[in-house]
Each structure stands twice: as C-alpha cells, then as structure tokens.
Structure 1
Amino acid sequence: MASNLTDLSNVQGDILLNGLNKEVETFWFFTIADTRSFCQKLRQVATEEISHTQNVLDTRRNIKDFKTREGNSPSGRVPTIGANISFSFTGLKKIASVTGLQTNTGDPIFETGMKSAAVSGLQDPIKQGANGQTPDWDSDWLNKQVDGVLLVAGNSAGLIKEKLDRITALFGNSVRLAFKVDGKVRPGAEHGREHFGYMDGISQPVVGNLPNLTDEEKFVPPGQDIIPQGVILCGRPGDTNASARPAWMLDGSFLCFRKLKQNVQDWDRFLVQSSNQLGTFADQLGARLIGRWKSGCPVNLQADFDDTNIGKDVMRNNLFEFDPPGLNSQSQFTIQSGDRMVCPLGAHIRKTNPRGDQPGLGRESVNPHRILRRGIPYGPEISENPNAERGLLFACYQSNLGQGFEFIQRLWANNDRFRFGGAGVDAVMGQTNDKPNVPMQGLFPQDASRELNLPGINRFVVPRGGEYFFSPSLSALKGELSNVQGRNIHPNL
C-alpha cells in the first residue's frame, strides 16, 4: 500500500506549498539536440540548479524572518530564484532511447499530447484552411518540437537570466531553445489579479499530510479542501492510476501548460452592453460570470456589491457552498424571485470546482479532480499599450490529466449541460470550437430562468498554444533519467 511523502526534497519546487516564489517567470521551451549528452549532464543540473519543495519552504521561512526583523517597511528584500524542469512525451521517449527508461506512463492523454486533441477534445478554435483538426494556435506551438520546458521563477528578471545562463551552459549544445514566453505579476493595486481584474488563485486545495511543517504552516483556511497527496503526486495515496506507472514516476506530477490570450477590451465591452440589457451593472454581471467580485468576494456571500472586506479575509472568502436550496437535484436550476444569493451554474468558479453540488456525494466526489494552479499573467497593462497581446500563462499540476485538467475542461467547463441544461459554458475557461453563441441562465439575479447569449465566447479567452509535461522527482532526474546505457536502446529516436 502506498505511503505518504516523507522527503520534501524529492519533489520539484513548483508543485506543492504554493510553488516557487514568482514575481517574474520564464518558460524556456527546448528541443533535445543531443540526447546522450543531455542525459549525461542532467544529473549535475538536477543536483546544482533544480529547486525542490524543501528549498521553497526554506525560502518562505527566510522571507518571514526578514520581515520580522525589518518591520513593516523593510529596506531591500530577500532575493528569490528557482528552476524546475519537465518533459513532454516526445522528450521522455528521447531520454528512453539512451537510458532504457520505461515510458508507459499510464496517462494516454499525456502520451497523445495536447495539440493532437486540442480541437476534438478541448474544443479549441480551429485553424482556418487547415485539416479541420489543427488548432488556431501560435505558429511556434504548431511548428516547433518541444521536448521539455525549463521554468525559472523569482523576484527579478536579472536573477532569472543568471539562472537560465547557468543551466543552459551546463547543458551546452545538448539542448536548443525552441521558444520562450515570459510572465510577470501585475503591478501595484493589480498585484495578484489576472488581466480582467479579478483576484486569482484564491481557492486552492491543500495537499494533506506533508512532512516538516510547523502548525502555522499546516493551517488550512475555512472552506479550503484538503486532498490526498496522490491527487497531485504520482504513486502516493489517492493516485488512482498508481499501479499502471513505473516506479521512477513516484513523486512526479503532470504539468499542463496553456497560453491563454485575454481580450480584455472585448470582455469589458460585453459586460457594459449586456448588463444594460439585463438591467444590472457591469461589475455585477462580471461577478456572476466569474462567481466572485474583483476583490475575491463570492457572490454567494454578497450579491449586490463587492465587499472587499470579505474578499481579502482568508477566514471568510472560501467559507460557502453553492446554495443547495436553489438547486433542484432532479432536473433543473431554480431560484425564487428575489433570492439573489445563488451563484449561476455556469460561473467560472462553480464550473471548475462544484464544491458540494453533487447530490449525495458532496465535496469528496470533486476532490479527485482538483488541480494545483501555478499560472502567471503575461503582456503589458492596458494603460501601457491597449492593443498589445496579454493574457495568462496557465499552468497546473495533477497526477492524472484525465481526472484533472482535461476532466475539468471537457466535462465541466465546456459542457453547457453541466450541471443542468441552461447552465452554459464557463465564460472564462470554456471552449466551443467556433460555435458562435452559447446561452446561459442565472446571470440576472431576479430571474434565474432568463437567458443571456454569450456571443463569440471564444473571443474573451483564446488558447494560443500548450502542451502536457511530466515533472519528475529529484531522485528520478539524478537516477533513471540520467543513467545512460552503453548504446542507444532505440537508435531511431
């Protein structure tokens, strides 16, 4: 029987405990040019440059001590930098060709890759003039081979460049840059918000039974879910596919990366025009589409205005359920006239985490589908350049893509009948290929059955590329992925 993790230094640092500290981040996507040389150098890179969870915890403690010493107005700050490495299935197959690594990962979605199923599975927009199964992505994602990604995060661009320079110098000519994307948190009062203006990352599950934590570090805010380690880490309790995986995958996790372009001006314009149609106001309509006001205050706790005191209060901003009295478990979603304290079924936070919506099952039925999100915004502020591209570099970790990201995307966010007909698709994350209009109910507080058409829903958040990766443990990086055999096992790779 699987046991819980006992060594935080075996798990790459971006996976657990809120991940690497990041104010700026670079995703450096690479092609393995010389597989044998790459694997021979991987052990040194993993030993000297790849961050693990204990590093993250130590850094967090150092920052806390620094703030305690310096008070509320510290002079300077603790420099932070960390790097992780992950591989696509093509990258793992290359590594297997010189190490004999077993590549039966037990995850067919990972092995197929994101691009092949982006149109048919994820319902991404279709590239016009192609074969009908090619997603309308940036050319880099369509034309360049991505064997892996180095993600480097910290609190200054200079530290990131130095870290990347050291790692790429160690790898030498064994790797080649395919392309890179850079992200950064938004400045000033927008810190912590994505480009539509909503606080991000408020509701994250907590991985239970982690070692070496103080009582303060173990604190779980009210309303947050505690999930088994195996929902995120392969081979740990809660990993429903553990028996199908080779031993080297223990303590690794699958990384889903999506570049999501946000059309902020279209979103803002839609909210103004549609709120006039519904007889409400733009911020309230936006809150009902998201499920939270911009501060993070849930509409379940305040339907009429953005209560910023609730939004910033970790003891209250997740302490709610999605109004069971308004949910008819037999067939439909109903609200009595005047009862506005119900989150629409198609709201982003309800689509992606239904909480206790499942009759007779509750949150326990949702926990196997939880993910740990590690995204960061990209692109300039609207005030700097209104016409520039901006969006979210979405990243999340799970032990099973079919139960994690893909399940949430296909069966919840994209499904206009989840949980009942009329729910609509997730206005933020949902994709419908090129379907022009999707109706949604529950957006008008006084009349739940009234529908609003969301025209061209894909125009708000548009996928521009992505891939599935595996983030191995530190022991696997230094061991099975680095143990080069005397000759190539598969010479054609």
Structure 2
Amino acid sequence: MTVIDLHDVQGNLVKPYGRYGYPLARYGFLRIRSGDAARHWLQAVLPHVTTGAPWPDRRAQQYGAAPPLPEATLNLAFSAAGLKAIGVPEKSLDALPEEFRLGMRGRCDLLGDDGPSAPEHWDPIWQGPAVHVWVSINARSEAALQRQTAWLQDSLEATDGGVELLTGHRGPGDDCWQEAGALTEQGRVVPREHFGFVDGISDPYFEGCGQPPEHVIGEGKPQRGGNPRDASGWAPLATGEFVLGYPDEADEYPLSALPQILTRNGTFLVYRKLHQNVASWRRYMSEMGRNFPGGADALAASMAGRWPNGAPLSECPDQASADAFMAELERLREARRLATEPAEKARLDKAYACQQQRLKAFNYADDLAGGRCPVGAHIRRTNPRGALEYGQEGAFRTPAALTDRRRLLRRGLPYGSSPPETTDADEHGIILMVLNASIKRQFEFVQQKWINYGNDFRLGNERDPLVGNQPLDDAEVPGQPGGHYKIPGGAQPPWFCARLPRFVETRGGDYFFLPSLSALHMLAAGNVDPT
C-alpha cells in the first residue's frame, strides 16, 4: 500500500472540503509583477496553506472528542506563466506537459469551447494579462470567509504592487473575487447544483488518500467478478493517477520536472467556470417531459443517470423507488442523530453507511445495453465503471485500463442563484475544478472523447446531454439547436430527444500546477535547480 506524506500535499488534493462542512468559497487570481516580491509574499503565506494532514471525522467533532477544524482554508496553484514569473528555470518548465504550458485557451478547440463558449466570450479576467496564481479560500461561515479574505488582501498590499489581485469576474459582488457556495433552501445548505441534482456524491478512492477504507466501495476501480455492493467489487486506484511522484495504473511514473521535489506530491488542477442555462433546461424538461413516461423528473434522470434527489437509476428505476430510497436514508440519518445507547448508535451507523454506499456502489455489468441507465447518461459517460471493459457478451472490448486511467478528482461549488423566474442571462453555474496527474490523458480525454463525442459508447456523434457542446444549428432546421439524445425503451421503442440546446457554456479557466508544501518552500526560496 502506497503511503503519502499527507502533511506535504495541499489539503484540497485529498479533502473534498464540502464534505467537511465548508459551504463557502472564494477564488482569486494573481499576477506576479516582481519575482522577488512574489517569493517574499509566498514565504509569508506559506504557514497558512492548508495541508492534507488528517482531520478527525465529523462525528468526533460533533461530540467534542477532537480539536476543531480550521474556520477557513487556503490553497495555491500556479499557471505555467506563473511558475516562470516566480523564477522557475526554463529547463524545468520545458519538462512539464505541453498541454499545461499551452493552457486552457490554447486547448479550446480540443475541449469544444466554441460558439458561446469560445474564449472571446469568457469573463474579462481571462481576456487580459496572463493569470499567474490561483488562490482558493473555503470557509465554514461568512465571517470566517471575510476574515481570511481581508488577511490575504493585506498580504498582497504589503507587496507594493509586486503581486496584483486581478479583477474581471462577472456576477454580483466584488469583481476581485469569484464567489461560490453551496445552495441553500430555507436557510439550510443543500448539496445541489442549479439544474436541481444532488451533487458531490462520490470521489475517486486511491491508495494513500487518507479517507476511510470503506470509501473504496463505489469510489475505487471495479473488480471483475466481485460484488459491487461490498469491498470485493472494488480496489483502490493507483496513487499516481492523482499525485505526481508515484506509480499510476500502468505502473509508470507520471511526467515530472527536475528537480523531482518540484513536482513530487503535487498535481495538476483544471479550473473551469461553467455557466448553466437554467431557464433553457427547465423549459426543455417541461416541454419534453409532458410526453415522456414518468414526466420531467424521469427525463432528467435519464439524462443524468441519477434522479434529482441523487438516487442512481441503476438502483432505482422509477420515481417511487428513488423517493423510498432517499426517505430511508434520511430516516436512518435522523435515527442515528437521536440515538443515545452506544450499541444502538453502532447499529444505526452501520445501517446508514450501507444505505449511503448504495448511492455509489454499483456498476453496469448487468446493464451493458443501457436498459436501466442509458449508456449516454452523464454519470455513465464521465465514469463508465467498467462497462467498456467487462469482456462479457455484448460488452465493448477495450483494455481494462481505459476507464481506470480516466478518473478525475472533482472539486468546486455552484456560483450565483437560480430563483423560479431566472433567465439564461443571469449569472449562475458551477466552478469546476479537476485534479489529475495528466491533464491530457484524464481531463482532456474525458472532455473530448466521452463528453463531446460518443464513439466509445457506440453512440456516434451523440454528446453528453447535460454538459456536451451540442451543435448550434440543426442540420434540418437551421437556427434551431442540433443536439440529440436517445433513451432506450426496453421492450418499447426508444425515446428520442431532438434539438437539444447547450445547457452549459464555458466562461473561462486555465490549467494550474498545485505544488506540494516542499515545492512551495523551494519556490519561496528561489532555489529551483534542475541540474
């Protein structure tokens, strides 16, 4: 089993902060005007960078059996231009992957960022001078967010212009910061995004990640012949799929620069602002859902692969079973909260964990044709869970490493609000952040081959119905959107969704390198030596 020095990796690499009670976030982007000033600034903020050091679980926190978690977190990443600006030698930079050095704008054609998603339509901050540093604050409360922001701004002002906070984020509030935060309903935080789906249900489990071992169920890599509902059906992914300096699923070490300490325990971060056309989504679901069996929610579930409440189609084929599934989960959650006897608490904890695991403990070995969960559904495209490689009759015969080497650690939160009267022009969407050891092999492959194309799924040029870059013009009806989506009907004829619009558009982003704490110290000292 691989062991990672969790005190050396940045916290967001191994901790999805939202699961730890950090519903608010603020992202800033810096430009380095003086390498000396940037190194002094980095030296000053380094003690405040949040690491991956283990945190106690929330139950221990709740009962006062562990020290409190920090009120706010801080993490940093550098673009290729940022590494150069802070003093990394050309020899080290040249050894980093080409896609990272080109940046997201340089890869926009491959990513499908055209039409309204083209770079000329991105937020103003992405139209000016190159962004050098990504800064992330996650907070447990608004007060903590403001305190951390004020402290960070003071640290930047102390550089006398040597490190500048860039402006140009569209949306409400101060355009110095990209605001983000979990949505709320009646004052209560809910893990949903603007189309109404519960989000953040699973995250890849890899060796050394520091998460409880039972999380491997549904989050690791599927094991042929194992039971997907228990640990026999899953194994941890190789560390090197997400952390540089360790073997990956091919038993190879990802590309690294010299000195090796510069990249070891680091990773690459994709930052992507995705605008959601909520009004178009609601209108399409309402109109098409009138005739779809089960109505609009069933249509939405067929596109996503999950019901809006989070229940997977693979487990819950209809609305009634999805509602019953989540009602039982909520009943167990409340029962364990109220339990007082240790034995009863333990029993309820186990029952709740088993029910919660069913949200993700499934594969498509017995649904290769997509009768329950359509092959082209969003969650099935972005994580096929072995459906491309089982080697059973009718399965797609591709190498087993295909899906295991395309997994993505996903971070981020929604931004903006989407009240009932919202329009597509309002500012709302998701800040998507992806962590992976290879941007090209992981993020870009999934985006190009699985989201914006369907050949691996035998779907031709059909695209992801939720986030794909649907054709802007229908071949038969110019001026109408040209996307399409087929939902298998089992014993009945399939259902065709025609004239799918683009529900999601890109509003900006870039590729960054998330260094380890050791590498941050090296950058601050200015002693990166590739010889």
Query: What TM-score, normalized by structure 2, do the two folds share?
Result: 0.78
Q: Measure, in 1, the Cα distance between the counterparts of 2:420 and 2:106.
A: 37
Distance in 2, matches of 1:51 and 1:378, equals: 23
Cα contact 1:85–1:471 (8 A) shared by 2: yes
Partner residue of 2:214 out of 219, 223, 226: 219
Note the C-alpha offset of 1:234.
0.8
SS in 1 for 2:417: coil
- Structure 1 residues 451 and 384, CA gap change in structure 2 (3 angstroms): closer
Distance change (3 Å), C-alpha of 1:443 and 1:139: farther
Please state whether the residue corresponding to 1:91 is helix, strand or coil. helix
Equivalent-residue separation in structure 1 for 2:284 and 2:162 (angstroms):
48
Mark the runs of 5 or more structure 2 residues left unpaired by the alignment. Answer: 168-176, 221-235, 330-354, 392-397, 474-480
> Which residue does the alignment assign to 1:39?
39
My pick for the range that moved more, 258-267 or 355-364, is 355-364
Pick the aligned partner of 2:286 from 272, 286, 293: 272
1:79 Cα deviation after fit: 5.8
Pick from 378, 390, 411: which aligns with 2:415? 378
**Is 1:249 matched up with 2:275?**
no
Match of 1:121 in 2: 110
CA distance in 1: counterparts of 2:527 and 2:121, whole angstroms: 41
Aligned to 2:359: 317
Please say if 1:178 is aligned against 2:188. no
Q: 1:440 to 1:210 in 2, by over 3 A?
A: closer
Distance change >3 Å, CA 31–CA 392, structure 1 → 2? same
- Give the conservation status (yes or no) of the 8 Å contact 2:465–2:500: no
Residues of 2 paired with 1:196 and 1:178: CA distance?
Answer: 30
Distance, in Å, in 1 between the alignment partners of 2:400 and 2:461 is 20
- Quote how far apart the aligned CAs of 1:251 are: 0.5
Counterpart pick for 2:521 among 468, 472, 478: 478
Identity among equivalent positions (%) equals 26
Residues of 2 paired with 1:288 and 1:381: CA distance?
A: 22
Q: Aligned partners of 2:190, 2:366: CA distance in 1, in Å?
A: 34
In the alignment, structure 1 residue 139 sits paired with structure 2 residue 177: no
Greater relative contact order: 1 or 2 (C-alpha under 8 angstroms, separation 6 or more)?
A: 1
Please, which moves more after superposition, 108-117 or 161-170?
A: 161-170
For residues 241 and 142 of structure 2, the distance between their equivalents in structure 1, rounded to whole angstroms, comes to: 33
Question: Is the Cα contact below 8 Å between 1:115 and 1:467 reproduced in 2?
Answer: yes
The structure-2 alpha-carbon separation of the partners of 1:79 and 1:146, relative to structure 1 and needing over 3 Å to count, comes to same
Matches within 5 A, 1:60-459: 60-61=56-57, 63-69=58-64, 80-96=71-87, 102-118=92-108, 120-126=109-115, 134-171=119-156, 172=159, 173-179=161-167, 180-188=177-185, 191-210=190-209, 217-220=212-215, 222-225=217-220, 226-238=236-248, 240=252, 242-246=254-258, 247=260, 248-305=262-319, 307-311=322-326, 312=329, 313-324=355-366, 326-327=368-369, 340=371, 342-359=372-389, 360=391, 364-383=401-420, 388-421=426-459, 424-432=462-470, 434-435=472-473, 436-442=481-487, 444=489, 447=492, 449-456=494-501, 458=502
* Counterpart secondary structure, 1:234: coil
Are the counterparts in 2 of residues 145 and 178 from structure 1 also a CA contact under 8 Å? no
Provide the C-alpha distance between the structure 1 equivalents of 2:86 and 2:324, rounded to a whole number of angstroms.
51
Tell me: CA distance 1:89–1:79, structure 2 relative to 1, closer, same or farther (3 Å). closer
> Which SS does the other structure have where 2:125 is aligned?
helix
- Whole-Å separation in 2 of the counterparts to 1:394 and 1:366: 21
SS of the aligned residue for 2:11 comes to coil
User: Are residues 210 and 325 of structure 1, via their aligned partners in 2, closer, same or farther at CA, if it must alter by over 3 Å?
Assistant: closer
Q: 1:114 is aligned with what amino acid?
A: M
CA distance in 2, matches of 1:25, 1:175: 21
CA 1:167–1:85: 2 relative to 1, 3 Å: same
**Alignment partners' CA distance in 1, 2:432 and 2:286:** 27
- Structure 1 unaligned regions, length at least 5: 71-76, 328-334
For the pair 1:464 / 2:507, whether they are aligned, the reply is yes
1:326 Cα deviation from its structure 2 partner: 4.2
Q: Residue 94 of structure 1 aligns to which amino acid in structure 2?
A: A
Q: Hey, what's the Cα distance between the residues in 2 that align with 1:192 and 1:428?
A: 18
**1:232 Cα shift?**
0.6
Question: Could you tell me which residue of structure 2 aligns to residue 73 of structure 1?
Answer: none
SS state of the match for residue 220, structure 1?
Answer: helix
Counterpart amino acid of residue 358 in structure 1: L
CA distance in 1, matches of 2:87, 2:216: 43
* C-alpha displacement of 1:344: 1.1
Closer, same or farther in 2 for the Cα pair 1:271/1:466, shift >3 Å? same
Shift, 1:221, TM fit: 5.5
Partner Cα distance (2:123, 2:166) in 1: 13
| Gap change, CA 1:191 and 1:363, over 3 Å in 2 | farther
Contact 1:86 1:472 in 2 (8 A): yes
State the AA in 2 paired with 1:320.
Answer: F
| 1:193 partner letter | R
Work out the CA distance in 2 between the residues paired with 1:433 and 1:199.
27
Match of 1:9 in 2: 7
Closer/same/farther in 2, CA of residues 198 and 283 from structure 1, 3 Å limit: same
Are the equivalent residues in 2 in contact too, given 1:122–1:410 (CA < 8 A)? yes
Cα separation, 2, equivalents of 1:243 and 1:420: 32
Q: 1:289, 1:443 within 8 Å by CA — same for their partners in 2?
A: no
Q: Say yes or no: does 1:53 pair with 2:63.
A: no
Taking only aligned residues, the RMSD between alpha carbons, in angstroms, comes to 2.9
Q: What SS does structure 1 have at the residue aligned with 2:526?
A: coil
